[in-house]
Chain A
Amino acid sequence: MKAKHSLVTKEEVKEQYNKFVGRKFFFIFFFSVLVVIISGISTSLGSADISIWDAYSAILHKFFPNYFESDWLADACVWNLRLPRILMGIVAGIGLGVAGSVMQAILRNPLASPYTLGISSGAGFGASLAILAGAGIVSGKYLIIGNAFVFSLLCSFIILGLSSRKGATPETMILAGIAMMYLFGAMTTILQYFGEAEAVKEAVFWMVGDLDRSSWPKLTLITGALVCCIPLLIIKSWDLNVMGAGDETATSLGVNVKRTRIVTMVVATLLVACIVCFTGTIGFIGLVAPHLTRLAIGGDNRFVLPVSGLLGAVLLISADLVARNIIAPVILPVGAVTAFMGAPLFLYMIMRRGREYW
C-alpha cells in the first residue's frame, strides 16, 4: 500500500465532518425561522387590513396579555379565521414532508411519496363514496372525513398485507401500490360516472385538496397524530440509513428489515391518512420536500426527516399564501397551487444538481 494517508489528517476530516453536521443544524434553524416569518406575513394578508406587527401582536397577546396589545378585529380575524388555516398548513406540511422522506428511504425509490401505498386513491374513493352515494362507515358531518380515513387505511393495509407475504421488498410494495391505485381510481370513476353533476364537482374539489375546512378541533387531532408518529419515525431514522445500503447489509448490521419496514410504513401511513382525510390529497409536497432536502444536506435520515418536515411546512404555507391572495377574494385550491409553484422549482433543482443519482 502507498503511504497516502498523510495527505489528509484525522483532525481535518473531523473538522470537515463537524462543519457538515453544523450545516444540517443550520437548515433546521433556518426553516424554523422561515415558518414563523411566512406565517406572520400570511396572517396579515387578507380582506381585513392587518399589518404584520398587528398579526404577531394579536398572536402573542393571547399568551402575554400584559406585554402585547390587540384589538377586537385583529383578534377575531387572526384567531378565528386565519390562524387555524395557517397552523393546519404547518402541521400538514410537516406530516407530509416527514412521511415522504420515510417512504422514499424505506422503499429506496425516489418516486415514492406519502401516496405510494395508495393513500390518496383510497381516500379519494372513500370521500367520493360519501359525497356521491351518501354511504359510509360513519354518518353525520364526519361522513366524508371518516370514509376518507378508513378507505385510505384499508387500501394501504391491503398493500402491506399482500407484500409482507412476499417478504416485504420495496419492489412488491410499489407494484402492489400501483395496482391498488388503478383499482380504487377505477371505482371512483364508476361512482362519478353515475353521480350528479354538482356532487361530482364537489368530489373532484375534495380530491384536489385545500385548507378551507381548517378548524381548531381538527388541528388538535392532526397535531396529536404528529406528536405520536414523528418521534417514532425519528427513532427509526438511523435504521432507515442502514437499510439504504440494501436489505442484506442491513440484516448483517443487526436490523430486522422486514419488521422495521412494516412498522415505519404503518406509522407513516397513519400520519398521512390523518392529514389527508381533513385536507384532501395535497400530493406534491411529500414528493418534493425530501428531494430538495437531500440536495441541501445529503442523505442522513436523522436530519432529512426533520428538515424535510419543516420544508414541507414552508412550501405548503407559502403556496396557501399565494392561493388566498393572487386573485382574491377567490381562493384557489392549495393542492393545485403547490404543484404549480413546486413543479418548476423541482425541475430546476433536478436539472442543476451535480450528480446523476439521488
Chain B
Amino acid sequence: MRLKVNNIEFAYNSTPVLENISMELDRSEVLGIVGPNGTGKSTLIRCIDRILKPQQGTILLDEHDITNMKQMDIARKMGYVPQSTTRVFPASVIDTVLMGRRPHLGWKSSEEDMDKVLEILELLGIMEFAMKDFNEISGGQQQKVLIARALAQEADILLLDEPTSNLDIRHQLEVMEIMKNVVKKKGISAVMAIHDLNLASRYTDRILMMNEGRIFATGDPASVLTIENIKHAYGVEVLVKSDGERPYIIPLRPIN
C-alpha cells in the first residue's frame, strides 16, 4: 500500500471541510476523486501533501506517518500538480520544470538534472516550448508543464487538482492520456480530483465520490457512477450508458 489515509478531519477556522475521510492508494493505481463544488476534493489533496495540516487522523506514506516527515522528504515521494499557476515574474518553461528537481538538489542544477528535464519534456511532447516563457503558452500547455514539473520530482505518487478544468476537449484527453501512460510506464500512482465524470470513468481505476466533506461512495467506476449516487451527491438526473466496461454519463436536468 503506497498511501493510507485514516479518519482525517480538517476545518478552516471552525467550519468543518473534511470529516472522517479514510482511503488507500495502491501501486500503479489511478484514483479519481469526484463530487460537487466545495465538497472538499482540493482540501483532501492538500492535506495528503501536507500543504494543509488535518486536525485529526493520520496519513501514512509507505507506512510512515507524514506528520513526522520533513517537507523535503515528502516532496521526494509525492508531487503536487495545482489547478493553475499565475506567475508574477517571468520563468521559462525549462526553468519551471527544473524547479521540480528542488527536492533532489541544493543550489545548483547539474547536467544530469537538465537531461532528466529534457527527457520529460520530450515524453510530454512539449519540447518546442522549452525556451518559451511559462506565461506565454496556452492553458493546456501550462497544465502539461505543471505535470512535467511533478514528474521531474521523480515522486512515486502524483496528486493532481482538477488537471483538466480549464482545457479544451483535445487537451483534456491529451492530459489524461499522458497521465495514464506515465502511471503505466513509470509504475507510479496518482490521485486526481476531477469534475468531468466521463473522464473519471474512462481514465481512473477507482473512484471516490465525496459529498459535503464525507466519502459518499467508493469503488470501481461502474459501481460508483450510478444514477442513484449521482442524483444523491449532485442533485442531478442523469442517464448512465455503458460500453460494457465503463459507464458513460449523460446529464439530463437538475432536480429541484
Q: Which residues of A contact B (CB under 8 A)?
A: 1-5, 7-10, 13-14, 16-17, 20, 104-105, 108-110, 235, 237-239, 241-242, 244-246, 248-249, 251-256, 294, 298-300, 302, 355, 357-358
Known contacts: A252-B75, A254-B75, A300-B95. The answer to whether A17 contacts B130 by CB under 8 A is yes
Instruction: Report which residue of A3, A237, A253, A302 has the largest number of chain B beta carbons within 10 angstroms of its beta carbon.
Output: A253
Instruction: Report which residue of B80, B89, B91, B115 has the largest number of chain A beta carbons within 10 angstroms of its beta carbon.
Output: B89
Question: How far does the alpha carbon of A156 sit from the alpha carbon of B121 in the complex, in Å?
Answer: 43
Known contacts: A242-B102, A355-B133, A357-B88. The answer to whether A252 contacts B80 by CB under 8 A is yes
Interface members, chain B 61-93 (any A CB < 8 Å): 70-76, 78-80, 82, 85, 87-92
Give every chain A residue within 8 A of B127 (Cβ-Cβ).
Answer: 4-5, 7-10, 13
Contact A248 B114 (CB under 8 A): no
Tell which of B72, B99, B114, B128 touches A241, judged by Cβ atoms closer than 8 Å: B99
Give every chain A residue within 8 A of B26 (Cβ-Cβ).
Answer: none
B38 in the interface, Cβ–Cβ < 8 Å?
no
Interface members, chain B 148-178 (any A CB < 8 Å): 153, 159, 174, 177-178
**B220, chain A: closest CB distance, angstroms:** 27
Contact B102 A357 (CB under 8 A): no
Which 3 A-B residue pairs are closest in the complex by CB-CB distance? A254-B75, A252-B80, A254-B72
Q: Which residues of B contact A (CB under 8 A)?
A: 46, 49-51, 70-76, 78-80, 82, 85, 87-92, 94-96, 99-100, 102-103, 106-107, 114-115, 118-119, 121-122, 125, 127-128, 130-131, 133, 135-136, 153, 159, 174, 177-178
**A281, chain B: closest CB distance, angstroms:** 25
Q: Across the interface, name the chain B residue whose C-beta is closest to A7.
A: B128
Tell which of B70, B99, B133 touches A245, judged by Cβ atoms closer than 8 Å: B99
Give every chain B residue within 8 A of A110 (Cβ-Cβ).
Answer: 88-89
Contact A255 B118 (CB under 8 A): no
**B120, chain A: closest CB distance, angstroms:** 11
User: How many contacts A-B (CB < 8 Å)?
Assistant: 131
Contact B131 A245 (CB under 8 A): no
**B137, chain A: closest CB distance, angstroms:** 12
Q: Across the interface, name the chain B residue whose C-beta is closest to A297.
A: B90
Give every chain A residue within 8 A of B89 (Cβ-Cβ).
Answer: 104-105, 108, 110, 244, 294, 299, 357-358
Known contacts: A235-B107, A254-B76, A255-B102. The answer to whether A357 contacts B128 by CB under 8 A is no
Give every chain A residue within 8 A of B178 (Cβ-Cβ).
Answer: 1
**A278, chain B: closest CB distance, angstroms:** 30
Question: How far does the alpha carbon of A110 sit from the alpha carbon of B178 in the complex, in Å?
Answer: 36
Give every chain B residue within 8 A of A255 (Cβ-Cβ).
Answer: 71, 102
Known contacts: A13-B94, A355-B90. The answer to whether A253 contacts B103 by CB under 8 A is yes
Tell which of A10, A239, A245 touches B118, judged by Cβ atoms closer than 8 Å: A10
Contact A17 B94 (CB under 8 A): yes
Contact A242 B80 (CB under 8 A): no
Contact A16 B131 (CB under 8 A): yes
Question: How far does the alpha carbon of A242 sit from the alpha carbon of B82 in the complex, in Å?
Answer: 14
**B30, chain A: closest CB distance, angstroms:** 18
Tell which of B79, B87, B114 touches A357, judged by Cβ atoms closer than 8 Å: B87
Contact B87 A251 (CB under 8 A): no
**B146, chain A: closest CB distance, angstroms:** 8
**B33, chain A: closest CB distance, angstroms:** 17
Question: How far does the alpha carbon of A319 sit from the alpha carbon of B149 in the complex, in Å?
Answer: 43
Q: Across the interface, name the chain A residue whose C-beta is closest to B92.
A: A298
Contact B107 A248 (CB under 8 A): no
Q: Across the interface, name the chain A residue whose C-beta is closest to B159.
A: A252
Give every chain B residue within 8 A of A237 (Cβ-Cβ).
Answer: 107
Known contacts: A253-B75, A254-B71. The answer to whether A1 contacts B95 by CB under 8 A is no
Contact A248 B80 (CB under 8 A): yes
Give every chain A residue within 8 A of B95 (Cβ-Cβ).
Answer: 241, 298, 300
Q: Across the interface, name the chain B residue whose C-beta is closest to A239.
A: B102
